[in-house]
Structure 1
Amino acid sequence: MAIWLLGFTFSVRDIGMITTSPRGAGELRRHGTVLIPCLAGILLSATHSYSLGVMIAPLEREFGWTRSQISSGPLIIAIIGLFAAPLVGRAVDQLGPRRIGLAGILLYCAALGALSFATSDIASWALLWVILGLCNMLVIPTIWTAAVTSLFVERRSIALAITLCGASLCAAITPPLVGFLVVQNGWRGAYVGVGLIYASVIFPLAWLFLRSATDDARRGAGVAAGSVRLASWNASLRQGFASPAFIKLATGVTLYALAVCALTANAVPILVAQDFKATQAPAIAGLIGMGSLVGRLGGGYLLDRLNPHMVSAISVSTPILSVALLLAMPGSPGAAMAAFLILGLSVGTELDACAYLAARHFDLRSFGTLFGAINGFLLFANGMAPMAANIVYDMTQSYQIFLWAVIPMCSLSALLLLALGTDAAATPPIA
C-alpha cells in the first residue's frame, strides 16, 4: 500500500506543478475545464453497476428472483457493449465526444430511472436493461478519455488519472446514495432519484465544458500539438487491431475485469454472506471507492515515472491479497475493510493503466475505435462476471469458489501486461 500512498502524495504535488511547468501550464489554461465533465461522465457510466448490489436484496424480497436473474441486467449491457462499443468509438473518432456525450447523459439517466417500471415478469427487467444498455453506450469511458487524450500531451497521465477518478467517486458515492434512497423511497424511487440527481448535475457541466480536439477543429479553433488527425484513419485502424500490443492489452484487462467486476458488483452480497449487517455492508463496500481514488492519482504519478508495464502488472495482482483476506478471516471487520480498500487501490491504478497504455501503444488517430473495442470487452466482463459469481452462489450458497477463481485470473492478467513492455510504443501523429 505504501507505493500507492507515495504515488498519491507526489501526484497531488504534480497537480500543483502543472501550473509551474510552462507547457503543462499552457495545457491547463487551455483545456483544464474539460476534466470536470469527463470525470463526471466516467462516474455516470458506472452507476448501474455500483447501484445493483444495493438493489439485490429488495428485488429478491419483492419478486422472488434469484441473484443470477437479477444480475442478468449487466450481462445484457455486456453483450450490447461487445458489439456496439467499437462503433461508438468510431463515431467518437469521426464526430468528437461532445455531441455523443451530451445526448448520452440525458438518455442514460432516463433509462436508469425507467428500471423502476420493472414488474414481476423477469422479461420486463430484461427489456429495461436492453434500453439501458443501448443508452449506456453513449456514456462509456471511450467518450471521455478520447476528449482528454486529444487535448493533453505533457500531462496526459495525470489528466487521465483525474478523469478516471470518476469511477472512484462512483464507487464511493453511489452505493451509500442508492442505499439511502432505497430506505427513504424504496428501490423504485431510488432508481428514479439517482437518475434525476446525476442528470441535473452532470448535463450542465458537460454542456458548459465538454470539448475535444475534433470539436475545436470543427469550430476552427487552434489545436495543441499531439491532437488527433483523422487522415489515414483506416490504415491506422487495421494495424492497431492486428498488433500484439492490442491483443495483449485487451486480453489482460478483460481477465482482470472478469475477476474484479464480480468482486465490486457483489461486494455488498459477499459481506452479507459473511454475516455483516445490511447497514454495515454498503459502508465497507464504499472503501473500494476511497481506495481507488488514492490508486487513481497515485497510479497516475507512478505510470509517468516508473516502468508502466511493471506498475500495471503489480496493480492487477493485488486483488489476490484482497481475496486471501476474505477467505482467511471471514466475518472480520478489519480484514473486510482492508480487503476492499486494497481492491480499490488496484481498481484505481488499473483503469489508469489501461487508458495510459492504450494511448502509449495505439495510434491516436484510431484511439477511439481501438479503446472502444477494449471498452466493449470490459463491458462484457462487467456484465458477465457478476452473473457468473451469482450463478455459483445460487448453486452452492457460497461465494468461496468464485473467490478462489480470482487468483489465477489476476495472475495471468499480470503476465500479459508485463509482456506488453516488449512491444514498441506507437508514434502519435504529429499535428
Structure 2
Amino acid sequence: MSDDIGAKWQRGESTSLHSVCGGRVYKVRCAAPTDQLSPAEIKHSLCDKRCLGDGMMEQAAELNKRSIPVVIACVSGVFFGPGPMLVAGIGLLLTSVSNEMGWSRTMFSAVPMIAAWAAAVSAPFFGRAMDQFGVRNVMLPSTLLFGLSFLGIAIFSTKTWHFFAAYLLIGLAAGAQGPVGYNKIISQWFSKYRGRVMALVAAVGSGLGYAIMPPIYNYVITHYGWRAGYYMVASGIVVICFTLSALFLRERGKPASAAQPAAGEAAAPVLKGIERAQALRSAPFWQLALTLFLACNAFYGVLVHMFPLLLDRGVDRGLAAGALSLVAVGAIIGQISAGFLLDRINTPKVSVLFFLTGLTGVVIIHFAAASKLVLLGAVCLGVGQGAELSVIAYLVTRIFGLRSFGALYGLIYAGANAASGTGPLLMGIAYDRTGSYDLMLFIFEGFLLISAASLALLPAYRFTAANADTAPAKAPPEAEPEAAALGTT
C-alpha cells in the first residue's frame, strides 16, 4: 500500500483501494479509523482482511488453503478425543472388564466417573492456559498423555486400582483434549460460517466416531479381548491424532503472553470479548453452565448405561451395539442441523429445539421396553447429545466473544465433565439400590426440561458474525459496554 494512501486514511479522508495480500487482490472501502494508526498497522489490518474503526471490507472466503488443514486437524482431534474414544466404547470395554474383575454396576460406573471428574478439575486450568499461551502449546503434550494412558491400561492393568489410576490420567489429559481448544481455534478462523464449521468438525469427528467405534470395539473385544481394544485406541491417538495436530493445528489472533512486535512491525490483532471476571458476574454464563451440567448428567447417564440397560431387557448384544451406533447417527443429524440453524437464525432460542429432542429420546428409551421403538429413542438421544457441546460453545462466542473463550468455556466444560461422571454413577447407584433405572430416568427428564427453559431465557447475541472477532493490538479492548449489557452482578 502506498504511503499517500496511508496518509489519506490517517487524515480522515474516505478512500477506495486494492490491497494485495498473499497474491490475491482485495477491494477495500474505508472511512477514517477512530485511532491514528501507522501505515504498517493499516497494511497489517488489510492483510488480515479486517477493516479497523468505522471501515468496511469485503471479506475473502473463510474456507481457504490456510484454514482447511486446520479443520482437518480439528476433525482428527475430535475423532480421537474423549467422546468417541472414551464415552462411545466405555460400556463395551467396561462390561468385559467388569465380568473379568467381578465389579458391581456401581463400581462399573465409578471408573468413568474418575475420568470425568479429573477432566472437570483440569479443564478450567487448561482453558486459561490456552488463552494465555496458545491452544497448540497446551494441546500437543496433552494429546500424548491421553494416548499413552490408554496404552498403560492395555499393558499394566491387572487390579482395580490400576484402572482407577489410568482413568485419572486419561481424565486429566481429556480436560485439554476435549472441545475447548478445538472450538477456540475454529472460532478464530471462522465467523460467518462458525456454526457450520463447528458442526462439520463435530459431525465428522465426534459423530462419525460415535457411529463407527461401538461396532469396532465390539468386534475387537469379541475376537481379541478388551486389552486389544485399549491398544487400538492408544495407537490411533498417538500415531494419527498427534501427527496431524503437530503438522496442521495453527491459530489466528494473539494469545495474552505473545511478545510485543519489534519497532516498525505491525502488531497482530488481539481477540475481542468480555473479560473473564466480568463474564463470571453475569447471569448468562451461569445459565449456560447450568444448562450443560444438567443435560450432560442426563445424556451421559443414559448413554453409558444404555448397553447394559438393553441387555437387561433381553435385547441381542449386536442389536444393542447397533443402538449405540444410532445414537451417533442422531448426533450427526443434531450437529449438522444445529450448525446450519445457528448461523442462519440470529438468536440463542433456536438451541432449545435440540435439547427437547434429546428429552424425547430419553422418554422413549424409558418407556419403550424391548420394542424397536427404542431405536428411534437412540436417534433422538443422539440429536440432543451431539448438539449440546457445539451449541453451548457457539453461544459462548456470540455472548462473550473470543477474548476469554478458553477460560469461560473451560469452566463450563468442567461442569459438563463432572456431570458426565455423576450421571452414570447415579444410574448405577439407582440400579443397585432398586433393581431398576426408572427413578433416575424420571429425574433426568426433569433435568432436560430445566435445561431447555434456561436456554429460552438467554439474552440476544452481543458478538455477531457482522462484527470482527479481532481488534488492532494498539486499540484498547471494548469489553465493558458488552459486559454492562449482560447485566453483571
TM-score by length of 1: 0.87
Alignment of 1:246-261 (within 5 A): 246-261=285-300
Greater length-normalized contact order (CA 8 Å, ≥ 6 residues apart): 1
Q: Does 1:274 align with 2:313?
A: yes
State the alpha-carbon separation in 1 of the partners of residues 275 and 168 from structure 2. Answer: 32
Letter in 2 for 1:430: A
The residue number in structure 1 matching 2:230 is 191
Corresponding residue SS for 1:332 = coil
Is residue 299–residue 348 contact of structure 1 (8 Å, CA) maintained in 2? no
Give 1:132's aligned amino acid: I
Match in the other structure for 2:245: 206
Looking at structure 2, the residues matched to 196 and 294 of structure 1 have their Cα atoms a distance apart, in angstroms, of 29
Alignment equivalent of 1:228, drawn from 268, 271, 282: 271
Residue 315 of structure 1 is matched in structure 2 by 354
**Do residues 45 (structure 1) and 67 (structure 2) align?**
no
- Secondary structure at the counterpart of residue 28 of structure 1: coil
8 A Cα contact 1:103 1:138, kept in partner: no
Equivalent of residue 304 in structure 2, options 252, 265, 284: 265
> Is 1:388 aligned to residue 429 of structure 2?
no
Whichever structure has more helix as a proportion of its residues is 1
Which of 318, 324, 327 is equivalent to 1:288? 327
Structure with the largest fraction of strand: 2
Assess, with a 3 A threshold, how the Cα gap between structure 1 residues 121 and 419 changes in structure 2: closer, same or farther.
same
Partner of 1:9: none
- Return the alpha-carbon distance in structure 2 between the equivalents of residues 324 and 330 of structure 1: 11
2:71 to 20, 24, 35: 35
Contact 1:248 1:416 in 2 (8 A): yes
Hey, what's the Cα distance between the residues in 2 that align with 1:306 and 1:152? Answer: 17
Amino acid across the alignment from 1:34? V
- Taking the TM superposition and a 5 Å limit, the aligned residue runs for 1:4-403 are 23=59, 25-43=61-79, 44-46=81-83, 47-117=85-155, 119=157, 121-165=159-203, 166-214=205-253, 228=271, 236-333=275-372, 335-403=373-441
SS, match of residue 266 in structure 1: helix
Q: In the aligned structure 2, how far is the partner of 1:275 from the partner of 1:101?
A: 43
- CA distance, structure 2, for counterparts of residue 363 and residue 422 of structure 1: 13
Q: Is the 8 A contact 1:162 1:297 kept in 2?
A: yes
Deviations 1:174-203 (A, max 9, x none): 222211211122111211122113332212
- Contact kept in structure 2, 1:257 and 1:382, CA below 8 Å: yes
Q: How many residues align?
A: 405
Alignment deviations for residues 82-122 of structure 1 (CA, whole Å, 9 cap, x no partner): 33211101110112111222222221011012223565642
Letter in 2 for 1:141: P
| Equivalent residues of 1:292, 1:347 under 8 A apart | yes
Q: Is the 8 A contact 1:178 1:194 kept in 2?
A: no
Contact 2:254 2:268 in 1 (8 A): no
Distance 1:122 1:424 in 2: 49
The amino acid of 2:67's aligned partner reads: H
CA RMSD in angstroms, aligned pairs only:
2.6
- CA radius of gyration, larger in: 2
How far off its partner does 1:423 sit? 7.4
Contact 2:127/2:176 (<8 A) preserved: no
Provide structure 2 residue ranges, at least 5 long, that are not aligned to the other structure.
1-57, 473-489
Give how far 1:27 is off: 4.3
Find the counterpart in structure 2 of residue 15 from structure 1.
none
1-structure distance, mates of 2:463, 2:181: 22
User: Equivalents in 2 of 1:313, 1:141: separation in Å?
Assistant: 21
- Do residues 416 (structure 1) and 457 (structure 2) align? no
Q: Which residue of 1 aligns with 2:487?
A: none
In structure 2, what is the Cα distance between the partners aligned to 1:139 and 1:201?
14
Aligned equivalents of 1:51, 1:210: Cα separation in 2: 27
After superposition, what is the alpha-carbon deviation per residue over 1:112-133, rounded to whole angstroms, capped at 9, x for unaligned? 1222356564222211211222
Moved more, 321-330 or 58-67: 321-330
3-state SS of the aligned residue for 1:330? coil
Contact 2:291 2:450 in 1 (8 A): yes
Structure 1 stretches lacking a partner, 5+ long: 1-21
CA separation in 2, counterparts of 1:201 and 1:180? Answer: 21
Dislocated runs of 4+, deviation >6 Å = 215-225
User: In structure 2, what residue type is equivalent to 1:359?
Assistant: T
Mark the CA change 1:60 to 1:421 in structure 2 (over 3 Å): closer, same or farther: same
